[in-house]
Chains A and B, each alone.
Chain A
């Protein structure tokens, strides 16, 4: 069983909520679910849509052909009807007041279609929206207005349904984070909201300072006193933080940075995705110092990689960047279990932190031997980190075959879902980008007959990084730079052309 559902409507009509809710109910019935969000940068109006893929087998991506279109407005039908599969159904929300309840009627109709027990849906609604009689009534109205056409049964044990951003957020809590500081910026802001809402119950502090420069410097002030801090931002905000990133390197202060990429350069396309800040993250900050760049590929990895970032940042007293993007952050993934990382790092206060070159006691120095000593002391961490990440699955290999797809971050889902239709191809996911697991990546590439890079960017930065780190060139590149993530069909078609 596999169903793809598009839920669309003007911003404010509830397509994101509807999609998330339907996904959650299917997760509770044991189905695998992937939920993709697509929305422009506006508050009311426009056209938002979600694509929900539901399957009895693991699914990590969406597609552009739909079994159902749940239309909260006419525009949704006009825009997406062409992508309805043969025999597909369009369910349109009725005209009603208040408009914001129409999606709930549609939810009722949809679940009745599949013969899902009304009580399951009402209970889920209560859990998600709280006790709300008008929502309940609207769902019941939907149930009453149609017949069951297709009986779906429970597929297995209930699953967890979680977005990449939520993964980063709970990873930070699990890692023992004390403070989260962030200035609002899509697509990192959901982490700020999630943590702010739960700050008292977790005894953490979540604060929005005057700008990203303040965010990063406040974080380092707190880190100086031994607090564990994560900041969150996207490319433009990260650009403002790079001065402080270098300070973290020099003063040897632990700091975790969640960098959620979006379509750039500059303002770019604020609510859309890209992987175009890879080299920026790797090279950010003036001067030479050790840092971590780790790119999770799904929400489970967002949890553990964030925890690892804290662990390494604290243990080696360095900045660590968790490199995500809009597609990872705002998509929902389903898992049987949610796992956490086994270690946690300890931070502690120090008497002196110095942006200037300094001696062992933290006092300022300028003489040649001390300057060289300072560099050597700090850069020694790079070789220690190169060893440390080998224990943290810096790369992952999926599938079998003599040919290789290489990628990093959020493309993982679409590649995994494409792989069964690409005989002879396996997939090498690079999770640690700094330090770069050069020997492991080189071995994978050398053993393969054909190597193809997949990246959500216009230039394929990972190929350059591979070349720099291993001396090996990847000439075949499948790139996407229209702000939208890959779907498996894109990859299958383009791999076959190579």
Chain B
């Protein structure tokens, strides 16, 4: 299978030049190279990122804002043999869906979660999100945002995610490799993908192009403290130049959610059921 076989005939409505095209390309290449298309389902939230539902020829669930992770988790429960990839935005995952994000880091189901982090709500015309920098002005914060952004990588590490990475939408070959590693990782894999919005958050693209660098090969993937230190190198703000590491920050094996439930073996719809009524009601007599 070639990456272009994963295309659909739907008209792409992302803005011309949107870094989301880079993410789309990296996903197509990763899925094609792993040859997993026939048994892969994607789940999206709501926002610019979610349009990827229409652009990938895979089984797909166009979910609702903030609920990507529970829907993806349910998809995995429904068919434990399926590769499930969730796509969310930063508002989607870190605002509306924050409670789910923390718990799914803990559950460690074998899912991949890709967050298109453009540090802004774009489809709703540019409001701030939990990862928008302090001082940002928009339609809902004309006086300037008073709060600092939080760092989703630090949060994921603290919450027990077993694969934590950051990608850059404009470095497609690197992002593709990250996505492949995330899919192959047995457990909850999380990639925060920096996807600078070229309409509502214009200053991020030049900043990231200048400051993004790939994590050194010497980085110890199994060392949580090193991962936390690396994750704190950049605090998602733009006040002054700061190096922005991309790559895998942390990877550790921990039993997956599915491995702890003996019932979770095959898709439920092929489990032949013949409930035995006499046996079911026996205890009530």
Contacts and interface: CB of A to CB of B under 8 A. Distances in A.
Interface string B71-101: 1111111110010000000000000000110
A176 to B, nearest CB: 4
Given A205-B264, A363-B8, A218 B99 contact: no
A160, A217, A218, A354, most chain B CB atoms within 10 A: A217
Interface of B: 8, 10, 41, 43, 46, 51, 53-54, 59-64, 67, 69-79, 82, 99-100, 103, 261-264, 267-269, 271, 273, 275, 277, 280-281, 284-285
A347 B269 contact: yes
A225 B268 contact: yes
A247 to B, nearest CB: 5
A205 B77 contact: yes
Contacts of B261: 205
A283 interface: no
A213 B280 contact: no
Interface residues of A, number: 59
Nearest to A366: B13
Given A162-B284, A166-B284, A213-B70, 17 more contacts: A158-B285, A161-B284, A173-B280, A204-B263, A205-B77, A209-B73, A210-B103, A214-B70, A215-B70, A221-B71, A221-B78, A222-B77, A224-B78, A227-B77, A244-B67, A352-B61, A358-B62
A160 B277 CA distance: 13
Interface of A: 27-28, 158-162, 166, 170, 173-176, 178-179, 199-200, 202-205, 207, 209-211, 213-215, 217-228, 243-244, 247, 251, 338, 340, 347-349, 351-356, 358, 362-364
A24 B69 CA distance: 45
A243 B70 CA distance: 13
Given A218-B73, A221-B71, A353-B61, A227 B284 contact: no
Contact of B281 (A170, A209, A220, A347): A170
B71 A220 contact: yes
A176 B264 CA distance: 16
B188 to A, nearest CB: 14
Main secondary structure of the interface of A (DSSP, over half): mixed
A176 B273 contact: yes
14 contacts: A160-B281, A176-B275, A203-B273, A207-B77, A209-B103, A213-B67, A214-B70, A215-B70, A221-B75, A222-B74, A224-B41, A349-B267, A352-B59, A355-B46
Contacts of B70: 209, 213-215, 217-218, 221
A166 B283 CA distance: 11
Nearest to B9: A363
Given A205-B264, A355-B63, A226 B53 contact: no
A364 B62 contact: yes
A352 to B, nearest CB: 5
B61 A243 contact: no
A227 B103 CA distance: 23
Contact of A227 (B10, B43, B268): B268
B53 A364 contact: yes
Nearest to B277: A340
B74 A218 contact: yes
A153 to B, nearest CB: 20
Contact of A228 (B75, B100, B268): B268
B67 A224 contact: no
Contacts of B275: 173-176, 202
Contacts of B264: 205
Nearest to A358: B62
Nearest to B281: A338
Contacts of A217: 63-64, 67, 70-71, 74
A203 B78 contact: no
A304 to B, nearest CB: 12
Contacts of B67: 213-214, 217, 243-244
Contacts of B62: 251, 352-356, 358, 364
